[in-house]
């Protein structure tokens, strides 16, 4: 019974102390919320722009793995090289631009289809400029890959055309048979080169234009900060109150 009574007395003292310090708790929580609100609402509105890039292919073989393209665009080396070219600080470019893959297909078997480059800055035009610059750099890198990948097919076509000239005047049955095979192979190469489903350079899916604007909305942070401040102040009041009985006993002695 004595332990229960002592516990009730301590709780009563605690609640009494919190009640006495209620204005400190309330004012402190409001101040913390006010500072968070000021900092949150003073943040500028951010503007986005996105570039959708389709990775090229030669004879249905992609020029580069889509994941590798996105990772390369986010790499420090890529950022450093591009920042020098467009006159932007590397850290600023790295903070402002992000490349990621766009997925498609059923949930359990999704696969990447595009690379999305998103730029986020305080200005519409700057966001478009940075997204376009990253996209152009990716496309320029892939132009070299495209040339290297299609070169063997182009060389093979030239050799076949030379062969075709050599045997075109020969009317023997064997030569006609070879001629038909050569013409068929040339047609296949032409079809592979000109068919967009088989061979196509890396390109933008659509022009880069200003996207969504992101306005600051710090209400969640304000509420969390106010609650955290209130809990901290309650703990401080309770801690300070725990020394009062000892101080009162020392004074009475």
Q: pLDDT tens-digit profile of 10-52?
A: 667 777 777 877 888 888 888 988 888 888 777 788 899 999 9
Instruction: Note the pLDDT of residue 244.
Output: 61
Using CA atoms, how far apart are residues 154 and 238, in angstroms rounded to an integer?
Answer: 83
Residue 65 Ramachandran class (φ > 0 left, ψ -120 to 50 alpha, else beta): beta
| pTM for the model | 0.71
**Residues of the chain with confidence (pLDDT) below 50:** 1, 246-247, 249-253
The answer to whether the Cα torsion of 203, 67, 119, 106 is positive or negative is: positive
Instruction: Note the pLDDT of residue 39.
Output: 80
CA-based nearest residue to 36, from 217, 231, 213, 214: 217
């Amino acid at each position: 019974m004595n332990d229960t009574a002592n516990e009730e007395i301590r709780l009563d003292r605690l609640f009494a102390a919190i009640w006495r310090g209620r204005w400190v708790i309330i004012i402190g929580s409001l101040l913390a919320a006010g500072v968070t609100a000021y900092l949150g609402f003073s943040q500028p509105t951010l503007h986005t722009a996105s570039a959708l890039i389709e990775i090229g292919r030669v004879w249905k073989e992609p020029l580069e793995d889509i994941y590798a393209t996105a990772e390369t665009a986010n790499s420090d080396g890529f950022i450093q090289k591009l920042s020098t070219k467009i006159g932007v600080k590397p850290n600023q470019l790295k903070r402002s631009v992000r490349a990621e893959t766009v997925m498609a297909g059923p949930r359990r078997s999704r696969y990447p289809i595009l690379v999305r480059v998103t730029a986020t800055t305080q200005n519409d035009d700057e966001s478009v400029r940075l997204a376009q610059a990253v996209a152009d750099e990716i496309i320029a890198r892939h132009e070299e890959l495209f040339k290297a990948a299609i070169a063997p097919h182009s060389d093979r076509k030239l050799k076949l055309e030379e062969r075709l000239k050599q045997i075109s005047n020969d009317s023997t049955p064997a030569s006609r048979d070879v001629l038909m095979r050569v013409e068929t192979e040339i047609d296949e190469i032409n079809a592979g080169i000109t068919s967009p489903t088989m061979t196509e350079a890396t390109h933008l899916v659509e022009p880069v234009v200003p996207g969504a604007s992101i306005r600051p909305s710090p209400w969640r942070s304000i509420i969390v900060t106010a609650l955290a401040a209130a809990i901290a102040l309650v703990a401080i009041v309770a801690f300070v109150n725990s020394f009062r009985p000892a101080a009162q006993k020392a004074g009475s002695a």
